[in-house]
Structures are given as structure tokens and as C-alpha cells.
Amino acid sequence: MEDAAISLSVTLSGFELDNPLIPASGTFGYGLDYLDFFDVNEVGSFAAKGTTLHPRNGNPQPRIAECAGGMLNAVGLQNPGVHAVIRDIFPALRNVYHKKLIANVGGFSTEEYAECARLFDAEEIVGIIELNISCPNVHGGGMSFGTDPRTAASVVETVKRCVKKPVYVKCTPQCPDLVTMCRALEEAGADGLVLLNTFLGMRLDRRTGKPILANVTGGVSGAGIFPLVLQRIYEVYPKVSVPIIGCGGVSCAEDVIEMMSAGASAVEIGTQNLIDPLTIVKIRRELPERLRELGVSDIRTITGRAFR
């Protein structure tokens, strides 16, 4: 049982979470996939599967490949579309999930981002809108918005005019100047940042010498990218004033503490959920003891302690 003397609660732009653990988009579906494993209310919140205005079949198979320290995916934003999610999935989810989720929004034009975000904004179950301008596995959208600060800022400005709920932006490590990008996003009205999405990579079949993924390239995730993401968070944190959700390679309670120490206010956990569906339950139970060892009674106090 969690020690009552240790507080795990955090706040993201007025959105209260009883713990900082958030399954990352694409690794938790729409929350219903994990019901066979644990009570989904144990998560602080969760980032729902990336959703676009219209249904998408995603990329052709194969679209998953393994690598040392993680995996590559090129799923390509397969989803039923925002209208189906609101009509069919949210009613079922409300029966078992009693918190608010983070709606991850993808798009192929500024207008698509805005309309999808507007529809999610009207849903009570949505607490934060997460703009995915960083997916490396689609053409003509996703990452193409996330490498140019002016384009990214334009998306944020347009979306902010359509919604009332906090807007967080999931950034790509492929951005050549992440600090400049994050500053531009904050100036455009972003309420928070999610650092980071996957790194671009590829694998070749040793027998044929050809790419394993039908998409040729895919997003690298897993424990192997943790130090890379940590460095980016450490770099951005003192340059912005909005909250950061850390994302990339977290697999244990110690990683959560380290990422929050670098500047994250909460942490998204992705690939490790696919390896062990009980990851978040285990981390939540371990965190109080790890914090007690540090003499910390409130997890919020460790955010940015690397700079204190």
C-alpha cells in the first residue's frame, strides 16, 4: 500500500493527477486494452492513442522491429478517427475510468489539428490536449510540423483559438534546435511540452540487406533513448516556464526520479508497457520507498532539482 506520508500528486496546468505516471500515446490504446491487467485508474492519467480527424489504416506491414535497448515502430497513426472515438470508445471508457485523459491529436493540416482538438475539447473526459507534431512515421503530417518553429507555432495558435483546455505539444528530437522550438511554442500559447517523441531509425534484414520496416524508417523508443531524452529535458527546462512531461525510455522508479530531477513535472511511459503491462503499477508502488530513501515527502519538490 502507498505510504500516506509520501505525496505523489502533481499538477499540470491546473489538471490534478494523483501520481505523475502517464502511459504514453500508442502504448495504452484508449485505456480499455489494459483492463485484463490492472485497474486503469491506477495511472495518473494516460495519453490516448494518436487520433486524427478522419480514420486511418496506418502504414503497411511489417511496422514493428526490435533493436538493442528498445524497438522501432512505423504504425503510422492507425486510428478510427475522432468521431468514432467520441461516439463509440469514450462511453465504454467512462464505465471503467473515472479520471481525465490526455487526448493525443495528429493531423495533416493546421485545420485538421484544430477541428480534431475542438471536438475533443468538448468532451468532459479529456483533461489535456496533446498535439502530436512529432510523429516520424507519416508523410505530409506529424514531424513535418515539428521541425520548423514558425509552422509549429502556427498550429498551436490556431488550436488555442478553438479550445479552452490546456494544450501540450509533443516535440520531436529530429528538430535541429529544440530550445528555439520550445520557446516558440510557449510564445504561441502552448500550456506545456512533452519531451520527446521517438528518434528516427531503421533496421535491415541481415539475409536480404533490405529494410525490415515497410516504411523503411521508424521511431526508436525504449530504454536505450533515456539518456538522450534526459539531456534534452535538462537543456530545455531552464529556458521555458511551462510544465514539461518527460517521455522516452523510462522503465523504473529510479528513471522517473531522474527525469523529474532534470525538469519534468510528470512522466510518460511507453515501450516498457509493451514489455511488461504491469510496469506502471510496479513503479507506482516503488516510488514512495525510493523517495523516502531520498528524504523526499512530496514528489513535486524534485522537479528541476538538478538546477538547485
* Cis? peptide before 211, omega within 30° of 0: no
- Is the distance from CB of 213 to CB of 65 less than 8 angstroms? yes
Cα R_g (the chain), whole angstroms: 18
Q: If you search the block for the grid coordinates 478553438, which residue do you land on?
A: 162
β-partners of residue 204 are 211
Q: Which three cell numbers stand for residue 42?
A: 491506477
Give the span between the Cα atoms of 271 and 302, in whole angstroms.
Answer: 24
Residues 6+ apart with CB under 8 A from 43: 19, 21, 22, 23, 28, 99, 280
Q: Which three cell numbers stand for residue 91?
A: 462511453
Q: Which three cell numbers stand for residue 192?
A: 506545456
Q: Which three cell numbers stand for residue 133?
A: 507534431
- Is the distance from CB of 74 to CB of 202 less than 8 angstroms? no
| Catalytic choice (67, 116, 135, 162) | 135
Largest CA distance in the chain: 58
Query: 10 Å Cβ neighbour count for 151?
Result: 14
Is 307 buried (19+), middle (13-18) or exposed (0-12) by CB count in 10 A? exposed
- Is 135 annotated in the active site? yes
Name the residues annotated as catalytic.
135
